[in-house]
Amino acid sequence: MSADATESWKLTLPCTRDEAEAIDVSEGLEGIAGSPVIITSEEIEDDPDSWRLDAFFSGKPGKAAVAAVRALAPSSAGVKATPERVPDEDWITLSQAGIEPVHAARFYVHTSGNKGDVPPGAKAFQIEASRAFGTGHHQTTTGCLIALDALKVNGKRFRNIVDIGTGTGLLAFAALHLWPRAHATASDIDAAAVDVTRENAAVNGVPLGAGPGTLALAAAPGLEHPLLIGRAPYDLIVANILAGPLIGLAPTIAMALAEGGTLVVAGLLDWQADAVTAAYRRQGLVPSGRTQIGDWPTLTFRKRARYGAARTTRLGPGGANDAPGFGSW
């Protein structure tokens, strides 16, 4: 007799910190029955070899699903992988029980099952562990939240913002909170991530739309979408993706950035920072800040005014060209 598809199952494996940080659930698990929610956690503090991977399934996982999860943690090759039935409880809540809220600058990110006490003056966002990256728990997302807050503290004002590779939508939500009169856009190459962003926007009261103070969504690789092209140039671009795509997209991102505009990038490791910086320097951007969390830097750039012969002159949403502190575009 086959297991009830509504049963909850869990597979636990040891892993390393490097394996945990490299996990991309969108790769290798698509199409597998009971596609799992993956949670990684530190077993022994400051020991990069003592981490744990928990995969929660709705329904007993088959051999293919177990093999796919095991492939996420090659260091567990010698460990027996035995799924266990979870008692009839809310398995999503269980999977998130070990996720602690994140307090980054003025932002507080939590799940529905572990809100805790929101610090006074903090802006809280409820972001569930899901099939999209960007819950605020990875150093790259946290670094971007801190970098965005620093821009606000330093008096920067933005009117046209885009978050490329938005994942859960968290960084777009944070930017719109900091600059509530801005036009904001969030995009991701994965249509599922755009759906997750739409769901999270509803949960967090972020209005969707095309006008100031609202968030527009698009599924697209990089900036290859009529909406993204039509709303350029942007005075703030956030791209929390990976070093390779960041370097490959440098000419396109630089072209979409308004003169004097700001770029925040993350998703790269320390040893990749020089190559990413060089790619954007070649496009007329100069480093203006760096936030470091562990091995993961978040880099901030400013685009030089009147750089190159092909100067961007088209206006962004609203038509005005008086973004304070950034000149005209």
Q: How many Cβ atoms from other residues are within 10 Å of residue 322's Cβ? A: 8
> Does 114 carry a binding-site annotation?
no
Measured at the alpha carbon of residue 293, what is the angle toward residues 289 and 247, in degrees to the nearest 5?
Answer: 60
Are the C-beta atoms of 30 and 71 separated by less than 8 Å? no
> Does 117 carry a binding-site annotation?
no
3-state secondary structure labels for all residues of 183-236: EEEEEECCHHHHHHHHHHHHHCCCCECCCCCCEEEEECCCCCCHHHHHHCCEEE
> Does 165 carry a binding-site annotation?
yes
Q: How many Cβ atoms from other residues are within 10 Å of residue 230's Cβ? A: 11
CA distances, 265 to each of 200, 203, 240, 286 (Å):
22, 26, 5, 13
Measured at the alpha carbon of residue 160, what is the angle toward residues 315 and 104, in degrees to the nearest 5?
Answer: 165
At 253, is the secondary structure helix, strand, or coil?
helix
Binding-site residue ranges for S-adenosyl-L-methionine: 141, 165, 188, 240
- Residue ranges of the annotated binding site are 141, 165, 188, 240
